[in-house]
Amino acid sequence: MVDPSWVADHLRTEPGGGLTEATAKRQRLRVTYRVDGSLRYVSNLERMRLWERTIRRARLPLSYSGGFNPRPRLQIGAALPVGFGADAEWMDIWLVEPMPPRSVRDALAQAAPEGLGVLRVEEVDLEEPALPRQIQAAEYEVVVETDWPVGEVRRRVAELLAVESLPRQRRGRAYDLRPLLHRLWVEAEQPRGVVVGMVLAAREGATGRPEEVLDALGLAGGFYRIRRRRLFLDFGS
């Protein structure tokens, strides 16, 4: 294995002191992981830094970009909003030396902090498009506290699915939520509320937000907890 410190030692330094040469990309791996506990409340930037530290602790031969500020080659599939848990997020990493995916999984699982659960690692083609460009949709589980009977929630869900347009405002801009809402259902009844499932668009420039679906249902005023269950590369899979 190659310690990440090897990278800085072996990059060519120009007279001005800038590091200019990138390391090779010989293997691309897709990591599937969970987000739980206190790590639900960190930003995506902070979570990315946690992953960088985890990869260093795992002593993986990570590839680095070139330029004056070389960065590790890793890419999160889709930003996870602060406060959301997740069952199966994706991250791509590029290595300068190929490794068995199982060995990478074991090393990451041992090095990861509590709240980042490494589930599996698989090899993907180096020439695949960037991961965020491939993601099409996301499935969410929303636990909502409400005094409404489950029948009322189901009625509102049916009404929402029946409309052709849901005009909304986001950051001062008008948009239509309805094309971003692929599926919506009541999954279960709980003593103090319901569990709602939904599948929303998660494409670049066209992303549905579960909080806005709750607001359209009239359920956003109370307590709710959101968990992203999975991402779709091809919606319908």
pLDDT tens, residue by residue, 57-102: 999 999 998 777 888 999 999 999 999 999 999 999 999 999 999 9
Looking at residue 22, what is its pLDDT? 62
Question: Using one digit for the tens of pLDDT, what is the confidence trace for 20-45?
Answer: 356 788 999 999 999 999 999 999 99
Segments making up each domain of the chain, as ranges? 5-132, 135-232
Token pair listed for 102: 């199982």
* pLDDT score recorded for residue 186: 97
Average pLDDT of the chain, as a whole number: 89
Domain 5-132 CATH class label: alpha beta
Place of tokens 């690692």: 121
Per-residue pLDDT of 95-140, as tens digits, reads: 999 999 999 999 999 999 999 999 999 999 999 999 999 999 999 9
Residue scoring higher pLDDT (18 or 101): 101
Establish whether domains 5-132 and 135-232 are of one fold: yes
Q: 135-232 in CATH: which number? A: 3.30.70.3190
What is the number of other CB atoms lying within 10 angstroms of the CB of residue 212? 19
CA distance 216 to 202: 18
Number of DSSP helices (H) and strands (E) in the chain, helices first = 6, 11
Q: Where are the beta strands (DSSP E) in the chain?
A: 27-35, 74-76, 85-95, 116-124, 137-145, 167-170, 173-176, 181-190, 193-203, 206-207, 224-232
pLDDT at 69: 81
Q: What is the pLDDT of residue 144?
A: 96
